[in-house]
Amino acid sequence: MNNHLLHRRTLLKGATATAALAALQASGMGFLATASTPYRVGLIGTGWYGKSDLFRLIQVAPVNVVALCDVDKNQLSEAAVMVGQRLKSGRPPRLYSDYRKMLAENELDLVLIGTPDHWHALTAIEAMKAGAHVYVQKPISVDVMEGEAMVAAARKYNRVVQVGTQRRSTPHLVDAKKNIVDAGLLGKVSHVEMCCYYHMRNNSNPPLQPVPAFLDYDMWTGPAPLRPYDGLPHVGWWRTFMEYSNGIVGDMCIHMFDAVRWMLNLGWPKRVSSTGGIYVQKEGKSNISDTQSAMFEYDDLNCIWQHRTWGRASDPDYPWAFFIYGEKGTLKADVYKYDFIPEGDGKKLHQDVVYEKQKFPEDVKEPRIELHTAPATRLHMLNFLNAIETKVRPVADIEQGHISTASCILANLSMKLGRPLQYDPQKREVVGDAEATRLLQRPYRGQWKHPNLDTI
């Protein structure tokens, strides 16, 4: 497999090449050379975003989709049909219900992981062990020690791991970083606010029901606690339970916090604190917070997060966003646009999201596609491939994904424990807090073994 990668350079398709390379250059990400041998690709988790990531990869590089894996036979079959329609040639992908068998029976260059959060660590580490480079969705883990193990595995097996925090490859945000933040237009930055006011928390109360024959629910649950089955967990139902996710902080804050860290070149926060809970939407089964604030502390800088799944947004134009406050001006940004507002009589700046519907007309017909993020994901994939070919770290390297993920997990732990937490990434412990340190690794269910730093 390594020789297969060493002797191949990526082909940039048609009209995307110039824009992609320009964005890569502007981001300091390097360049991609051209050649033709397709990457051998496997996808674990063929739901909404798993397929979306795969289709963006297909659009920018020659690929052979060797295998698809999902525990839902109906979802897997539908994905196979859609992939066949996209590729229009070559062998149909082999279909699997167990990722371990898929990895054992196929030689893969790339593995994309679009599973629910509680499966990210095990699948990513096994894919690395099997010799593949990995593109894994955020958050990378559901506990801090899973993330530590993922970083360790990437370094041990010398694999490139790109995390799906594609704000780092979003064209208008790349422009804001270069021409506003890095250019010094903000001056000294000493406060950041981040928020999400989407009414996105599923607060329903479905009855228990038999598990359908097409779904292996025990395998879907895997290492997580086994909840009584009350309907298909797909399409977001799983996100409303802490058994499988990190709540809205882990789903939405991670994107904005990661973007801020990238913009301002921030590493681990010195201290994390959070308060919140279920204040309003008490009638459903959901156990994630509907109201939560978190503070990520740095020297002379606090990054403040707030979400509410009820009520109005503080700024209706920026309901899911970050606001960077500097002595010379303010940067307001989200996935659709940015606005720079200078202090005094300076020039205001505005830029909107890039759409590529004419270049990629298939986007318009793709079910549930986020058209505004498709260009960013394509560039994120190109950066991933460039990192593989040039042997450098990608823009959303696994270590960066771990810092952003773990910080959000620490916020949830702080809310649970009712006190601030200071994580020491060298010792892998919460300073002076044995109880919190024990919670950095949650127990696994049944046969599943938590990844161990000494045995990965």
Q: pLDDT per residue over 251-305, tens digit each?
A: 999 999 999 999 999 999 999 999 999 999 999 999 999 999 999 999 999 999 9
Is the confidence at residue 441, as pLDDT, over 90? yes
Would you call 134 helix, strand, or coil by DSSP? strand
**Direct distance between the N- and C-terminal alpha carbons of the chain, in angstroms, rounded to an integer:** 20
**Residue 416 sits in the same domain as residue 379:** no
Dist. CA 307–CA 274, nearest whole Å: 11
**Residue 306 sits in the same domain as residue 389:** no
Cβ atoms of 112 and 135 closer than 8 Å: yes
Residue 155 lies in a domain: yes
Q: Report residue 31's pLDDT band, with 50, 70 and 90 as the boundaries.
A: very low
- pLDDT at res. 14: 34
Structure tokens at 409: 């997990």
Between 395 and 16, name the one with better pLDDT: 395
Residue 448 lies in a domain: no
> How far from the centroid of its chain's Cα atoms is residue 292's Cα?
21
Is the confidence at residue 6, as pLDDT, over 50? no
Residue 221 lies in a domain: no
Residue 361 lies in a domain: no
**Residue 415 sits in the same domain as residue 295:** yes
Dist. CA 153–CA 139, nearest whole Å: 17
**Residue 24 sits in the same domain as residue 42:** yes
- pLDDT at res. 454: 87
**Residue 129 sits in the same domain as residue 178:** no
- pLDDT at res. 28: 40
Instruction: Report the CATH number that the domain containing residue 257 is assigned in CATH.
Output: 3.30.360.10
> How far from the centroid of its chain's Cα atoms is residue 375's Cα?
16
Quick: pLDDT tens for 42-94. 999 999 999 999 999 999 999 999 999 999 999 999 999 999 999 977 789 99
**Residue 113 sits in the same domain as residue 197:** no
Q: Look up the domain containing 190 and give its range.
A: 173-201+231-355+403-438
Is the confidence at residue 23, as pLDDT, over 50? no
Report the length, in residues, of the chain: 456
Q: Report residue 123's pLDDT band, with 50, 70 and 90 as the boundaries.
A: very high
**Residue 237 sits in the same domain as residue 383:** no
Give the closest residue to 115 by CA, choosing from 103, 130, 98.
Answer: 98
**Residue 149 sits in the same domain as residue 252:** no
Quick: pLDDT tens for 158-210. 999 999 999 999 999 999 999 999 999 999 999 999 999 999 999 999 999 99
**Residue 339 sits in the same domain as residue 293:** yes
Would you call 190 helix, strand, or coil by DSSP? strand
By CB neighbour count within 10 A (0-12 exposed, 13-18 middle, 19+ buried), where does 315 fall?
Answer: middle
Dist. CA 26–CA 43, nearest whole Å: 30
Look over the chain and give the mean of its residue pLDDT values, rounded to a whole number: 93
Q: What is the percent of the chain where pLDDT is above 90?
A: 89
- pLDDT at res. 88: 78
**Residue 325 sits in the same domain as residue 382:** no
Dist. CA 401–CA 151, nearest whole Å: 9
Cβ atoms of 394 and 162 closer than 8 Å: yes
Residue 226 lies in a domain: no
Alpha helices in 228-306 (DSSP H): 247-248, 254-264
Dist. CA 154–CA 175, nearest whole Å: 30
Which residue has tokens 């044995």?
434
Alpha helices in 328-452 (DSSP H): 362-365, 374-390, 398-417, 434-438
**Residue 88 sits in the same domain as residue 130:** yes
Give the gyration radius of the chain's Cα atoms: 21
Residue 214 lies in a domain: no
Mean pLDDT value of segment 3-29:
40
Residue 219 lies in a domain: no
Residue 183 lies in a domain: yes
**Residue 277 sits in the same domain as residue 260:** yes
Is the confidence at residue 15, as pLDDT, over 60? no
| Residue 172 host element (H or E) | helix 171-176
Which residues are CB-neighbours of 217 under 8 A, at least 6 positions away? 71, 211, 229
The number of helices, as runs of H, and strands, as runs of E, in the chain is 15, 16
Quick: pLDDT tens for 353-371. 999 999 999 999 999 999 9
Q: What is the percent of the chain where pLDDT is above 70?
A: 92
Instruction: Report the CATH number that the domain containing residue 112 is assigned in CATH.
Output: 3.40.50.720
Is the confidence at residue 13, as pLDDT, over 60? no
- pLDDT at res. 36: 61
Quick: pLDDT tens for 367-419. 999 999 999 999 999 999 999 999 999 999 999 999 999 999 999 999 999 99
Between 378 and 27, name the one with better pLDDT: 378
For residue 212, which amino acid is it? P
Q: How many CB atoms lie within 10 A of CB 367?
A: 9
For residue 429, which amino acid is it? E
In order of 165, 267, 269, 280, 297, the CA distances from 307 in angstroms are 19, 23, 20, 13, 18
Structure tokens at 124: 């990513």
Is the confidence at residue 18, as pLDDT, over 80? no
Q: pTM here? A: 0.93
Dist. CA 151–CA 143, nearest whole Å: 13
Q: How many domains does the chain have?
A: 2
